Amino acid sequence: MKSVSYFLIMVFLFLFKVLANDKPEGIPIDGEYIYQLRFAEWNMAYHGQDVKVIIKEDSIKIFLYKGELTGLKKGDLIEEGLIRFHNKTSNWVIVKDENELEVDDVGGCSDGPSIIDFKNKIYITC
């Protein structure tokens, strides 16, 4: 009987963890990372540009690391802000103001905040 109870408890805990984890990969620990730069206007195509992502607590800075972008050279700041979870789209985004979380559309070429995909190490821009 004890083994059945233990089994049921383990199944319950597993299901609770799976169902409660509706967010994508969490924010990485503080540090510097290299992510791919993807372009929403070109169907998320990767054109060889990489960015350096610097995370400190809930703040993020994005710098051009490899490749060319119009008007930018290696080391130039592309974006900075606060890392927040956008519940409506289930994406991690970069905001400058908490009110940006109220928009319906984020990332790419929208008027909303940029998307940062921690799981796949991708920064999405227009």
Measured distance CA(123)–CA(112) in Å, rounded:
14
- pLDDT digits 0-9 by tens, 102-112: 999 999 889 89
Residue 26 domain flag: no
Residue 91 domain flag: yes
Residue 14 domain flag: no
- pLDDT digits 0-9 by tens, 42-101: 889 999 999 999 999 999 999 999 998 999 999 999 999 999 999 999 999 999 999 999
Residue 19 domain flag: no
CB 78 within 8 A of CB 66: no
Residue whose entry in the numeric block shows the structure tokens 């998320």: 44
Q: Which long-range contacts (CB under 8 A, 24 or more apart) does 14-17 make?
A: none
Residue 120 domain flag: yes
Tokens of 73: 């050279």
Measured distance CA(65)–CA(58) in Å, rounded:
21
Strand-strand pairing, 122-125 and 91-95? unpaired
Please state the domain count of the chain.
1
